[in-house]
Amino acid sequence: MSTQNTAASAASSSNRIQQHRRYLMCRPEHFTVTYSINPWMEPDRPTDTAKAVAQWEELYNAYLSLGHEVELIDQVPGLPDMVYTANGGFVIDGKALGVKFRVEERRGEEQPFMDWFAANGFDVVVPQEVQEGEGDFLLVGDTILAGTGFRSVGDSHREIAEVFGREVVSLTLTDPRFYHLDTAIAVLDPVEGPGGVEKANIAYLPGAFDEASRRILEERYPDAILVSDEDGDVFGLNSASDGLNVFISPRAHGFERQLRERGYNPVLVDLSELLLGGGGIKCCTLELRGAR
C-alpha cells in the first residue's frame, strides 16, 4: 500500500466524496490452490499461505486506516476460496441473498456465509438459481448490473430483481479470464452522497463483454473509464471504491493514471499471491449494506 496518505490532498483538489463502507472479509489462513476452476489457478504452481495472509492484511489495514468498518468471517479448513468473500452473497438494505455456486469445489461455502448473515442480523434469502453473489452482481446507483456467461445463470437475474425490487441490467462476459463481473467492471462513485443521489459511474474492460453488452454500457455510462487490456490482465478492475479512494492493483499503471485524472485517489495494494486463486481486491471484499 503506498498512496493512502494522499487521500486528504486528493479530496481537497476534487469534488469526489468519500463514503463510509462496511465490508465482510475472511483471513486466508487456509489459502492454497489444489484445484483449477478458472484460468488463473494452476495447482502445480506453489502458493505461499503466509504471503497471502500478509498481503490480505495490507488490504484489511488500508480499509481501517481510511475509516471503513470490516467484519470477519472465519475460514473453514478445506475451503480455501472463502477468502473471496464477494462471492458469498449480495446484500442491500439489510437483506442478504445467499449464493448457489456453479462449481462443486465451492459449494461448501454456501451455508457458512448464510449462517454468518443470519447471526449478524441480516434477513437471509436462500437462492433458487445458480449465482455467485457480488462477484456477478454490482450495485450502481439504484441499478444492479448482473453478469452471466461463465458462472451465474440468466435466471438468477430475474430472481435478484424479485428479491430486491431493483432494476437489473444483464451483461454477458465472453473472456474466460474474466469469469465474474467484478473482474471486468469497477464501481467508482458513491451510491448516495450529501444532498441526494450522486451520479453513479464505473470503469470497465470493453474486451471482456459481447457486443450487445458493450452497447448497453456505452449508452448508460458515457463517462465511464475504459480500461486497457494490459490493466485488465493484472486484475486492475477487481477493485473497491469509497467514492474517493479506489483500492487497486499496483500493476495497473494506466488505470492508476486514469483515476488520478478524474480526481480519485488510487490506493495501491498488492494481492499477487491471492491472484493465483483467481481473485483480487474486490473478490476479497463483500459490501454489507444495512443491518448490524
Reported as a pLDDT band with limits 50, 70 and 90, residue 12 is very low
Single pTM value for the model? 0.92
For residue 110, CA distances in Å to 124, 140, 286 come to: 12, 25, 14
Confidence at residue 191, expressed as pLDDT on a 0 to 100 scale: 57
Query: Quick check: 291 and 22 in contact, CB under 8 A?
Result: no
Query: Quick check: 277 and 31 in contact, CB under 8 A?
Result: yes
Reported as a pLDDT band with limits 50, 70 and 90, residue 37 is confident
Q: Which of 26, 157, 283, 284 is catalytic?
A: 283
Confidence at residue 194, expressed as pLDDT on a 0 to 100 scale: 45
Confidence at residue 275, expressed as pLDDT on a 0 to 100 scale: 93
pLDDT at 11 over 50: no
Confidence at residue 190, expressed as pLDDT on a 0 to 100 scale: 63
Domain ranges in the chain?
8-287
Q: Which of 26, 180, 253, 284 is catalytic?
A: 180
Percent of the chain with pLDDT over 90: 85
Q: Nearest Cα to 22, choosing from 109, 119, 94?
A: 94
- Label residues 117-140 b or e (16+ Cβ within 10 Å = b): beeeebebbebeebbbbbbbbbbb
Question: Cell 502458493 belongs to which residue?
Answer: 47
Which amino acid does the sequence have at 237?
L
Angle, vertex CA 22, rays to CA 20 and CA 23, nearest 5: 135
Query: Quick check: 239 and 281 in contact, CB under 8 A?
Result: yes
**Which grid cell sits at 11?**
479530496
Confidence at residue 4, expressed as pLDDT on a 0 to 100 scale: 43
Confidence at residue 170, expressed as pLDDT on a 0 to 100 scale: 98
Q: What is the pLDDT of residues 174-184, one digit of tens each?
A: 999 999 999 99
Catalytic residue status for 284: no
Under DSSP, is residue 226 helix (H, G, I), strand (E, B) or coil? strand
Q: Give Dmax over CA atoms of the chain in angstroms.
A: 53
φ, ψ (nearest 5 deg) of residue 15: -100, 15
Instruction: Characterise 129 by phi-psi region: left (phi > 0), alpha (psi -120 to 50), beta (else).
Output: beta
Query: How large is the average pLDDT for residues 218-239?
Result: 96
Three-state SS string over 187-240 comes to: ECCCCCECCECCCCCEEECHHHECHHHHHHHHHHCCCCEECCHHHHCCCCCCCE
Lowest mean per-residue pLDDT among 1-10, 148-157, 170-179: 1-10
Q: What's the CA gap between 57 and 129, in Å, rounded?
A: 33
What letter would DSSP give residue 57?
H
Under DSSP, is residue 291 helix (H, G, I), strand (E, B) or coil? coil
Catalytic residue status for 180: yes
On average, the pLDDT of the chain sits at 92
Q: What is the pLDDT of residues 85-134, one digit of tens each?
A: 999 999 999 999 999 999 999 999 999 999 999 999 999 999 999 999 99
Confidence at residue 14, expressed as pLDDT on a 0 to 100 scale: 64
Q: List, edge to edge, every strand of the sheet that includes 286-287.
A: 69-72, 22-25, 286-287
Q: Among 3.75.10.10, 2.60.40.2470, 1.10.3370.10, 3.40.640.10, what is the CATH number of 8-287?
A: 3.75.10.10
pLDDT at 7 over 90: no
